Amino acid sequence: MGGWLRNDRWFAAAAVACALTLGGLALGSCASNQPAGPAPTAEAPAGPEIPSTIRADEVVGRWGYGSFHRPEDLVRTEAAARAACGEPVVINRGPNGGVMMYLADNAQLQELELKGSQSGQNYIGPPGPAGGKDDRQIVSFDGRSMVLKWLDPEVAGRYGTSVYVRCAPEGVGHTAARRPPPKPKPKPVPAPAPQ
pLDDT in tens, 151-186: 999 999 999 999 999 998 865 554 444 444 555 666
pLDDT score for 15: 44
Instruction: Report the b/e string of 98-128 with b at 16+ CB within 10 A.
Output: bbbbebeeeeeebbbbbbbbeeebbbbbeee
pLDDT in tens, 178-191: 444 555 666 666 66
Query: Could you tell me if residue 71 is inside a domain?
Result: yes
> Which of 44-48, 101-105, 144-148 is predicted least confidently?
44-48
Query: Could you tell me if residue 44 is inside a domain?
Result: no
CA dist., res. 67 & res. 160, Å (int): 6
Query: Could you tell me if residue 12 is inside a domain?
Result: no
* Percent of the chain whose predicted confidence (pLDDT) is above 70: 63
Query: Could you tell me if residue 41 is inside a domain?
Result: no
Domain tally, the chain: 1
Query: Could you tell me if residue 194 is inside a domain?
Result: no
Query: Could you tell me if residue 154 is inside a domain?
Result: yes
> Which of 8-12, 32-36, 81-85, 120-124 is predicted least confidently?
32-36
Residue-range definition of the domain harbouring residue 76: 56-166
pLDDT in tens, 42-60: 333 445 689 999 999 999 9
Rounded to the nearest 10°, the torsion over CA 147, 153, 157, 162 is: -10
Query: Could you tell me if residue 149 is inside a domain?
Result: yes
